[in-house]
Structure 1
């Protein structure tokens, strides 16, 4: 079997504005959109089987519809009659068996002569009244391109000034091009049914049976035998067959499909702009992200403007974010280990949250962000999640201060603080280094709407600094000697590539290694140094010169410095001098 197309059906082949080879699909070898169709032979067999009829032959049926909906209880004849007419199928009984055949496959098997007897002429021709034949057929169907809504296709005889209309309403699923072709075929066949012939044949033609297709001497066309009367003579009743149905490939290009209708309304979205650390594997300023939530969801365009200039398209929100708000305050917690003492209780705007395994947690799963009262976002993870009320979730076993957000964690989060799940819906805003730390307007507008649509939201924000700030050092230590000197040391962290454990140290991540150390005694006096290595020695003389004496406690605030972006997040530690 070949070829299955990765492009989504039915957008391909109907969206000719996107793909120029859509017209080839009707004549080509694609399986997309065809494997799920309802071939007429299988469909007829299924209907017969449902009604307990097992003696039939559908092998000569060659037609197809996209789908069929059983309208309700009824007989097999009621169900099949219009379907056979739609698909150009005829049926007759032979030896107690139902034989189904497509008109397109019928051929005249022989030409026979006619003769007169005492009962009538050679050939008796009957043509139905013109007033009995429809000149327009309106076919009602379920339109695949319009999400299975009712559709209608018409076929009208060109010479009809005031056409007599016949409505054929069927619970079949079709596309508009196929429906129009089938309606035209039904109209052609309606004229052929109106012409019948009665004639006598030689007694030697005993092999002639109902359902045979024959040609009549000096009579045009092919004739389908409907009835045979045997007596002193053998008389046949037949109807002339219409012209053969063509294939869909011969009907020209399909009509232009309807574009998906725009939403009647667009809601004003809830928008969160998040200044987050650089994610693992991220580049540039990928930490500046957006989360958009709305019901209904039309999709939103994200654009930014600096200093009142023109708005620049940055990104498109293609899916709603999972957002909510805390219904109970979240207190500070431990860093670097599971927080079992705190619980996040929140109400979601939509969606759900799920528990994960410990391995998935340690691999970065269930990453989320909680806003605090200072305007900073703490990045954290949760292992357990339980829905304790409709839309209300309780999150436990937390990993706090991820990505170097311990400064936001120590503040905690109040009741009503925003919550955002950091999944694929929370995408980068696409800032550049020139945007970092600069105030800008962010406009979130519904797709396909005017920029002054009431649902458009504009927010002023300053973003990008968290992604470029150096992380705070860890494991600060102090060693005091007998002379009063103190040796400070610490371990730096990195924003880039810090999860690889194979090297002797993590990458630097900044242009050069530099630190800012502030050492105080609690009285307000501060000693400032900027070493280029993760160590600093303060002699007794330096301490005495700044503090007037050797202090009993030293408050050390250590931060890594970026030559481009300045001082990063600081970590403060208190050291007590031995007695």
Structure 2
């Protein structure tokens, strides 16, 4: 087998492999393998059009360099056409010299018709099992992840604190993931006229009811009904009975606009997956007792955390006006979120229903009395019950039946009483029996408040 030896100067001194590095923001990096002792001067550059690791690129550079130098010494031999089926790239074992068997790789083959002429190079299998280690420490750009979107819930419900005494509704903001850093509320007449109306950095957990909250009318803690809610990534915590009765801890709104009930829970038992079973409930708070029986299995649940609630100030003229509400997470553009539209009803200005409606006799006259309630902060021990209106006014209506469909007589009064005189009774044809009164406090801003109706 004649030996053919290439000149050393025709071989590469080094091989550089460029590649796409995923750990370097998919920028181009390179790995280089150098032959330390050589008279060669050529530097070979190889481009890999693929994303790979530095270790793999280093191993490719080593393999190419060693393969070039391995091919410096080639041999040739001839055989009969018995081996004409072989082709370049095949590995063959050749006995040369006698008694020595070695693997060779065919680089070219010529079939003359009588003989087959082969050119071969050493076929070292170890060449393809390189273990070289590439460079480390590539650092890509440190790009902060996009902020999670913000969930928004409009709670057009009763006034919760004196500071929010305006026609605007409450708006709760909550993040969809734990790394939510806050959001901004934008409100406008339409999506092209949105202006900032405040921001929060803490969430007011928003979820959904998974069970129907049963009705409740007694003025004690509801230990009968249970409520299952799902608040996603948020958490709910239990409290003590003392705190439940003496503070606003664990206050929540349950329902939808037009039928919100304000309540509190004492116990929150985790069911896993963001689901909680709430029990020990204070029901019908802030004048919402009439909504305790209006719930469905898909009610919205909002934990009334002050730091996650906004109440944009709005005047009476905004009542009934449809506006766009949009919640934008900190770090996101205004156009990254969709708007909700809602026509505010000014529920926060609506007077609570009176209580303790009674009748008594004064001679032949019937006197109706009641007690008003206040939307504003009260001090029972000091006897302070703010009116919350520019003047004190009520409407008492007497109906012909318990259906409360046909008005028999109406009274407009400025005190917590009205007299149904004997003359009025005669004119109305009333000769005794049950009466069906309904009384409401009148607001200068939104008109009639919530009613108290009963059979006396």
Q: TM-score range by the shorter chain?
A: 0.5 to 0.7
Quick check: 1:335–1:401 contact (8 Å CA) kept in 2? no
Q: Which residue of 1 aligns with 2:40?
A: none
Check the 8 A contact 2:390/2:444 in 1, yes or no. yes
State TM-score, norm by structure 2: 0.62
Whole-Å Cα distance in 2 between the matches of residues 260 and 573 of structure 1?
67
> Structure 1 residue runs of 4+, over 6 Å off?
none
Mapping of 1:317-336 within 5 angstroms? Answer: 317-336=200-219
1:304 aligns with 2:184: no
The answer as to whether partners of 2:232 and 2:273 remain within 8 angstroms in 1 is no
1:475 lines up with 2:381 in the alignment: no
Gaps in structure 2 of 5+ consecutive residues: 1-140
Q: Name the counterpart of 2:8.
A: none
1:441 partnered with 2:324: yes
RMSD (Å), alpha carbons:
2.6
Q: What is the aligned counterpart of 1:493 among 331, 349, 373? A: 373
SS at match of 2:161: coil
Cα deviation, 1:216-271, whole Å, max 9, x if unaligned, reads: xxxxxxxxxxxxxxxxxxxxxxxxxxxxxxxxxxxxxxxxxxx984423x555432
Change beyond 3 A, Cα 1:347–1:448: closer
Residues 445 and 551 (structure 1 numbering): CA distance in 2 closer, same or farther, change over 3 Å? Answer: farther
Deviations 1:339-397 (A, max 9, x none): 2221112222122222211221122211011014x643111011122124443211112
3-state secondary structure, aligned to 1:541: helix
Aligned residue runs from structure 1 range 284-433, under 5 A: 284-285=165-166, 288-295=170-177, 297=180, 299-306=182-189, 310-362=193-245, 363-372=247-256, 375-411=258-294, 413-433=295-315
Cα distance in 2, alignment partners of residues 379 and 557 from structure 1: 23
- The aligned counterpart of 2:418 is 536
What is the CA deviation profile of residues 548-568 of structure 1, one whole-angstrom value per residue up to 9, with x for unaligned ones? 333522121111111233111
| Counterpart secondary structure, 2:230 | strand
8 A contact 1:292–1:317 mirrored in 2: no
CA distance in 2, matches of 1:287, 1:360: 27
Moved more, 527-536 or 347-356: 347-356
1:279 equivalent in structure 2: 160
Question: Which whole-Å deviations, capped at 9, do the CAs of 1:290-319 have from their partners, x for residues lacking one?
Answer: 233323625332111126661111122423
* Per-residue Cα deviation, 1:463-507 (whole angstroms, up to 9, x for no partner): 361211111111111124673x32110111111221x12433412
2:436 is the counterpart of 1:552 = no
Instruction: Give the Cα separation in 2 of the matches to 1:414 and 1:401.
Output: 16
Give the secondary-structure state (helix, strand or coil) at the position aligned to 1:452. Answer: helix
Runs of 5+ in structure 1 lacking a partner?
1-258
2-side partners of 1:414 and 1:551: how far apart?
A: 41
TM-superposed deviation, 1:460: 0.7
Question: 2:203, 2:305 within 8 Å by CA — same for their partners in 1?
Answer: no
Alignment CA distance shift 1:312-1:567 (3 Å): same
2:389 aligns with one of 510, 535, 538? 510
Aligned residues: 310
1:466 aligns with 2:350: no
In structure 1, what is the equivalent of residue 449 of structure 2?
A: 568
**Does the Cα contact within 8 Å between 1:380 and 1:399 map onto a contact in 2?**
yes
| Distance in 2 (alpha carbons) for counterparts of 1:552 and 1:559 | 23
Greater relative contact order (CA < 8 Å, ≥ 6 in sequence): 2
